[in-house]
Amino acid sequence: MRVLLVEDDPMIGQVVRDALQDAAYAADWVRNGQAALDALAAQHYDLALLDLGLPGKDGLEVLDTLRARRNLIPVLIITARDALHDRLRGLDAGADDYILKPFDMAELLARMRAVIRRRNGQASPMLDNGVVTLDLATKQACAQDGSPVQLSGREFSLLQALLMRPGAILSRAELEDRLYGWGEEVESNAVEFLIHALRRKLGHDVIRNVRGLGWMVSKHS
């Protein structure tokens, strides 16, 4: 994978490039907008990391020019501007995602992977939050260091709902929505029953209860 890093701050630029190389990316580093456009015109990249506050041509202009040239390279914006309209403006201009300074390299790498995966259209057949993995094809779940377990249809639906957005809290009503079709009669305590079953199969900490609101699975740690 070849990545173009556009960053004018020498300290950040250097450490990000080195970390990218550590993570086995081929990383090129340019320090201003014009150099970025030149590099992108001359060479194929799989992803661009674009700082917004660049000298001369600023990041959003680079992005506009790029999209006007019909260059559809995935772009991840790195910005110190956190005003909402700056972010929206970046996404409107055709960025795939943005990350706010200061950030952790691990988060940047995770987002880069997500952007590339989305762009390549290969939605993973697995859902994973670092604690539990769910195979969408076989309906098998696997806790961190256990063997795969087969889930029932409703158990699968419930765990899938939670794993779609790790870290999000889903209320009982929302979970029931995912479990039952229109007109199907909702059994009382069905959600508790399913969660109890899942915990028995995968370990107690797989699904966490948030008092008064609902349930969640933890986010990638």
Partner 1 sequence: MDGFKTQLKASLQFRLSFILSAVIVAVAGIAGVFSFFSALDEAHELQDDVLYQIAELMDQQHLVLAPGNASAHLADGDQDSYIIIQRLGPPAAGYRPPPEGALSLPGNLAEGMHTLESRGDTYRVLVKSRPSGERVAIAQETDFRDGIARESALRTLMPFLILVPILLLIIPRLVRRLFQPMAGLSGEIDRRSFEDLSPVPDRHLPTEVRPFVIAINRLLTRLARSRETQRRFVADAAHELRSPMTALSLQAERLGESDLPPSARERLSALRQGIQRGRNLLDQLLSLAKAQSAVDPAITPGPTSIPVLYRRVLEDLIPQAQAKAVDLGVTQVPDIRIQASELDLGAIIRNLVDNAIRYTPVGGRIDLSAREVGDMVELCVSDTGPGIPIPERKRVFDPFYRVLGTEQVGSGLGLAIVRTIVARLGADIDLDFSDVAAETGLKVTIRFRQTPSA
Residues 95-114 that bind partner 1 (CB under 8 A): 101-106
Told to check if 218 binds partner 1 by CB under 8 A, we report yes
Measured CA to CA, the distance from residue 67 to residue 69 in angstroms comes to 5
Q: How many residues does the chain have?
A: 221
Please, which residue, 61 or 174, has the CB nearer to partner 1? Answer: 174
Please, which residue, 79 or 151, has the CB nearer to partner 1? Answer: 79
Please, which residue, 139 or 208, has the CB nearer to partner 1? Answer: 208
Which one of 67-75, 83-91, 146-154, 176-184 is the stretch in contact with partner 1 (CB under 8 A)? 83-91
What character string, x for contact with partner 1 (CB under 8 A) and - otherwise, covers 146-185?
---------------------xxx-x--------------
Told to check if 83 binds partner 1 by CB under 8 A, we report yes
Please, which residue, 56 or 148, has the CB nearer to partner 1? Answer: 56
Please, which residue, 66 or 129, has the CB nearer to partner 1? Answer: 129
Instruction: Candidates 121, 181, 183, 212: give the one binding partner 1 (CB under 8 A).
Output: 212
Residues 12-31 that bind partner 1 (CB under 8 A): 12, 15-16, 18-19, 22
Measured CA to CA, the distance from residue 159 to residue 208 in angstroms comes to 12
Binding residues for partner 1, rule: CB under 8 A, are 9, 11-12, 15-16, 18-19, 22, 80-85, 88, 101-106, 167-169, 171, 208, 210-214, 216, 218-219, 221
